[in-house]
Amino acid sequence: MSATPLLQLHGIDKNFGPVQVLRSVDFAVHAGEVTALVGDNGAGKSTLVKCISGIHPIDHGKIVFNGRPVTIHNPRDAASLGIEVVYQDLALCDNLDIVQNMFLGREKRSGIILDEATMEQMAADTLAGLSVRTVTSLRQHVASLSGGQRQTVAIAKAVLWNSKVVILDEPTAALGVAQTAQVLELVRRLADNGLAVVLISHNMNDVFAVSDRIAALYLGQMVAQVRSTEITHAQIVELITAGRSGQLGLQADNGTEYATSPGGITR
């Protein structure tokens, strides 16, 4: 793990007309770690992710990737940096098989025909590298897969392209206990393989099970980013619902943010 974040956001503002959705947001993601991004509905999590992934342009602030300032105009720019997002709806096609889904829009060709053999081998190597054992055939249609298997395919699709940062939006939503455990193991494995992982979740048990750091958004402001070992479940709930917990978060007198964790946000 590097002490220098792979992805850093400084002072990010985002407005939609008169509504300010993000207010001077600082955010840091480290390679080899899982950073949980938590917050209530409407806190700005989705908007922040869409700014990182190039769907929404930022209005003010700076994005630094691997030590250099970058401008992300669109999702292609984000993908070229190695930033991939797995959204909650997974964006998989039920009528296609696993290989076809993993290469959808990025198919390999041999002349004018699809190079099926190369794509199948790359898909197999990716799943093997993630130690995925729940998929019996790469030619299964996605429609026949369980929720956990679908999530696995979506994550494997995201890391197929030499990704460096993988953002997962509620990956365990609507999954059973056993499938949730499988997906969380995969999330942890991504970080152990050296990727920077951002986990968006409302499930605090999942957050504490796999995360190294926790970043809390409250009404568009980043109120804390601390190591998960240095904060309690109750403190996280207070940060999400009230924006402060003791000396952590927004202070009533001047709105200043505080974070007591080394490597966290200090203002």
- Complete DSSP assignment for 160-205: TT--SEEEEESTTTT--HHHHHHHHHHHHHHHHTT-EEEEE-S-HH
The structure's pTM equals 0.88
| Dihedral (CA of 138, 142, 146, 147) sign | positive
pLDDT at 267: 40
User: Which is more confident, 126 or 253?
Assistant: 126
DSSP structural state of residue 213: E
Residues 112-140 have a mean pLDDT of: 91
Q: Tokens representing 86?
A: 């797995």
Domain 1-82+163-267 carries which CATH code?
A: 3.40.50.300
Q: Tokens representing 121?
A: 């081998």
For 98-111, write each residue's pLDDT tens digit: 999 999 989 999 98
Spatial separation of the C-alpha atoms in residues 14 and 20, rounded to whole Å = 6
Token match 């995360």: residue? 211
- On whether the CB atoms of residues 199 and 211 are closer than 8 A, the answer is yes
Spatial separation of the C-alpha atoms in residues 98 and 126, rounded to whole Å = 12
At residue 24 the predicted structure's pLDDT band, cuts being 50, 70 and 90, is: very high
Burial class (CB in 10 A: 0-12, 13-18, 19+), 58: buried
Residue 254 confidence (pLDDT) above 60: no
DSSP structural state of residue 141: B
- On whether the CB atoms of residues 258 and 249 are closer than 8 A, the answer is yes
Q: Where in the chain is the domain with CATH 3.40.50.300?
A: 1-82+163-267
Spatial separation of the C-alpha atoms in residues 75 and 264, rounded to whole Å = 28
Give the distance from CA 244 to its chain's centroid. Answer: 24
- CA angle, 160 as apex, 156 and 163 as ends, to 5°? 105
Q: For residue 163, count other CB atoms closer than 10 A to its CB.
A: 19
pLDDT-wise least confident of 30-39, 61-70, 240-249: 240-249
User: Which is more confident, 58 or 252?
Assistant: 58
Give the contacts of 262 (CB within 8 A, at least 6 positions apart): 227
Q: For residue 45, count other CB atoms closer than 10 A to its CB.
A: 22
Phi, psi of 164 (to 5 degrees): -115, -35
Q: Mean pLDDT of all residues in the chain?
A: 90
| Size (the chain), residues | 267
Residue 3 confidence (pLDDT) above 80: no
User: Pairing mode, if any, of strands 68-70 and 60-65?
Assistant: antiparallel
